[in-house]
């Protein structure tokens, strides 16, 4: 869906680079472009981000990895597709905003730095948007025209695919579901006074914070999920809350966007049957009957999704310039 057809692909070099920049690691790959087929990862290398060094040092690591992969590539490269944590400026490929997980990453000129160093075009996309594009075209959403992808991990992000293309919005920030209001409001356990956003109850970090506020115990998200599955009532309450809040929010997105399906990915999506049943309950309570059978499915591509999605975004960009 939305991929460049074989006639157009023949005009391009048959390989590209892909980078996935996260808070703990940076993955790089040489990707084979095979005439409209799924981009195929040929060579892969991962290095630690060491985000505490600051944005300039991280960018230097990114550029060095790209140069190393480019030098080792056996074919001419079409460009560099980049998936990065943070909000990406749609106009110049720089980092418009990054949170405290990557200090100093805000305003780093990722696209320009890679183009200057490697001499080939670079296309930069938010990591969840890249994940969404990969899943939509070659993973769980293959064959669909419109879908929503939600990545529920440490944070909570989303990507919207409409008519085969990623929806970025005016600034490039479309899909930030974690920043939408928490539908439970101040009734949410562990939140206290005030109205938090959805990420504060439905992301892994939110689950941990709510559990700690409720019990005084600091457990990881995986430990809370395990405790819930073993019957601990406080853990079950927090997991139920996370799933239900996300389900209600997904119903709202469905009412606005009317997608073919919703794809769930990330560590929280592995929390177990209790979490999943609450997602489905929250969704069912707020959705119209005609949309009640919308498929909510698991992602398929795993860690390859952002690399494949970044490659697809690069191909889209190159197609618009020809």
117 lies in the same domain as 264: no
Kindly give the interhelix angle for 233-257 and 221-229, rounded to the nearest 10 degrees.
110
71-126-104-213 Cα dihedral, nearest 10 degrees: -130
183 lies in the same domain as 246: yes
Number of domain units in the chain: 2
Query: What is the spatial distance between Cα 268 and Cα 221, in angstroms, rounded to a whole number?
Result: 8
Per-residue pLDDT tens for 185-223?
A: 877 887 766 558 999 999 999 999 999 999 999 999 999
* 8-state DSSP, 53: G
Instruction: Answer yes or no: is 256 within a domain.
Output: yes
Instruction: Answer yes or no: is 75 within a domain.
Output: yes
* Average pLDDT score over the chain: 93
pTM of the predicted model, to two decimals? 0.90
Domain with 107 in it: 6-134+303-320
222 lies in the same domain as 276: yes
The CATH code of the domain that includes 190 is: 3.30.420.40
Instruction: Answer yes or no: is 230 within a domain.
Output: yes
Instruction: Answer yes or no: is 1 within a domain.
Output: no
315 lies in the same domain as 275: no
53 lies in the same domain as 87: yes
Closest CA to 126 of 273, 271, 21: 21
Per-residue pLDDT tens for 7-33?
A: 444 466 899 999 999 999 999 999 999
166-116-35-76 Cα dihedral, nearest 10 degrees: -170
Instruction: Answer yes or no: is 128 within a domain.
Output: yes
Q: What is the pLDDT of residue 192?
A: 66
- pLDDT at residue 233 above 90? yes
20 lies in the same domain as 101: yes
285 lies in the same domain as 148: yes
Task: Return the beta strands (E) in 178-294 as ranges.
Answer: 261-265
Per-residue pLDDT tens for 55-96?
A: 999 999 999 999 999 999 988 999 999 999 999 999 999 999
């Amino acid at each position: 869906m939305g991929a460049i057809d074989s006639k157009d692909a023949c005009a391009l070099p048959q390989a590209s680079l892909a980078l996935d920049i996260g808070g703990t690691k940076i993955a790089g790959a040489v990707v084979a472009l095979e005439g409209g087929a799924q981009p195929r990862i040929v060579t892969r290398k991962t290095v630690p981000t060491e985000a505490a060094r600051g944005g300039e040092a991280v960018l230097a690591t990114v550029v060095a990895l790209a140069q190393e992969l480019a030098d080792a590539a056996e074919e001419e490269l079409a460009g560099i597709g980049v998936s990065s944590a943070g909000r990406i400026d749609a106009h110049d490929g720089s980092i418009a905003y990054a949170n405290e997980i990557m200090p100093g990453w805000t305003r780093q000129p990722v696209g320009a730095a890679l183009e200057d160093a490697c001499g080939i075009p670079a296309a930069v996309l938010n990591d969840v948007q890249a994940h969404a594009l990969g899943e939509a075209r070659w993973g769980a959403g293959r064959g669909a025209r419109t879908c929503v992808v939600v990545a529920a991990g440490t944070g909570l992000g989303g990507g919207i695919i409409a008519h085969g293309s990623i929806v970025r919005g005016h600034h490039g920030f479309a899909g930030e579901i974690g920043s939408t209001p928490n539908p439970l409001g101040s009734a949410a356990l562990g939140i206290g006074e005030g109205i938090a956003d959805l990420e504060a109850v439905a992301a892994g970090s939110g689950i941990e914070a709510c559990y700690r506020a409720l019990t005084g115990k600091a457990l990881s998200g995986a430990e809370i999920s395990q405790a819930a599955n073993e019957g601990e009532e406080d853990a079950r309450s927090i997991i139920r809350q996370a799933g239900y809040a996300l389900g209600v929010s997904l119903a709202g997105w469905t009412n606005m966007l009317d997608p073919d399906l919703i794809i769930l990915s990330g560590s929280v999506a592995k929390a177990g049957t209790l979490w999943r049943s609450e997602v489905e309950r929250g969704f069912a309570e707020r959705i119209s009957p005609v949309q009640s059978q919308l498929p909510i499915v698991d992602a398929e591509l795993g860690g390859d999704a952002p690399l494949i999605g970044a490659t697809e975004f690069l191909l889209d960009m190159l197609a618009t310039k020809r």
